[in-house]
Amino acid sequence: MKKDSLTQTSFVLVPGYWLGGWAWDAVAAHLRYRGHNVIPVTMSGLDPNDPHRAERTLGDQVDSLRSAVSTAGADDSSVILVAHSGAGFPASVLLDQDPTVVDRIIYVDSGPVADGSAFDTSVPSDVQEVALPPFEQLAASLDGLSEEALELFRQRAVPMPASVMRDQVSLENDSRRNVPSTIIACSYPSRVLMQMAREGNAMMAEAALLRDLELIDLPTGHWPMWSRPADLAAAIAATIAATVDHMPPGRTKV
């Protein structure tokens, strides 16, 4: 999808588990103020008004992304896909199916997943949906989140379709690793994440195989769209420069 110019960029913002496109409201406002087109996505299975929500699959979520990036690029804009947390799963499948579908992918406290991986294979086969667990049971940093943000998260969280969480992905197209990629590291410094990747950590190993990767550190918790929305928007917007092979000072390409 590479364009001759990136004067018009569309950002497709995909939240992680239990969240809808509303989670990006503050970040989207900052990006629009900068003049960018923004499409926040509520993934298939996370629309509370969908009567068949709990039956949706990872394949349905991939279809959601494909539709969103197609809409984003309809006016010949360059498309940057922003995947937070568990959205790395459908994003990885989409890029496996068509590595040319976006100009760049940004993983926010996330990363590409490997063939055969699943978010949680321990979810029983007879469970149809998984509600947001108590915050103290989440294996993710809540740093920087206010009580108001936590309450909004709890109120608006939608149970995840269980099949999305337990199904293993099938990836076979090596060209997915050529897609220009950015990891915005929040919960852990990027140097730690890449050390984990090189050591074969199950959640990060695929990042070590990316052929065009830049790293941005944004120290905060796992939900930077709430804890540091303006800074996250700035980091996202700054990747436009990297997409045209210009690296601003202080950034790392590996």
Helices (H) and strands (E) in the chain, counts: 8, 9
Distance CA 42, CA 25 (A): 12
- Which pLDDT tens digit goes with each residue over 65-95? 999 999 999 888 899 999 999 999 999 999 9
Q: What confidence tier does 243 reach under pLDDT thresholds 50, 70, 90?
A: low
What are the residues facing 182 on neighbouring strands? 106, 214
69 near 79, Cβ under 8 Å? yes
User: How much is the pTM?
Assistant: 0.92
pLDDT, mean over the chain: 91
Going from N- to C-terminal start, the domains of the chain cover 9-253
The answer to whether residues 206 and 176 touch, using CB atoms and an 8 Å cutoff, is: no
Beta bridge partners of 214: 182, 253
Q: Does domain 9-253 have CATH number 3.40.50.720?
A: no
252, pLDDT greater than 50 = no
Percentage of the chain modeled with pLDDT above 90:
85
* Percentage, residues of the chain above pLDDT 70: 92
Region of 78 on the Ramachandran plot (φ > 0 left; ψ -120 to 50 alpha; else beta)? beta
Q: Which of 80, 46, 79 is nearest to 60 (CA)?
A: 46
The reported pLDDT for the residue numbered 77 is 84
The Cα-based distances of 75 to 3, 37, 107, 202 in angstroms read: 12, 11, 24, 38
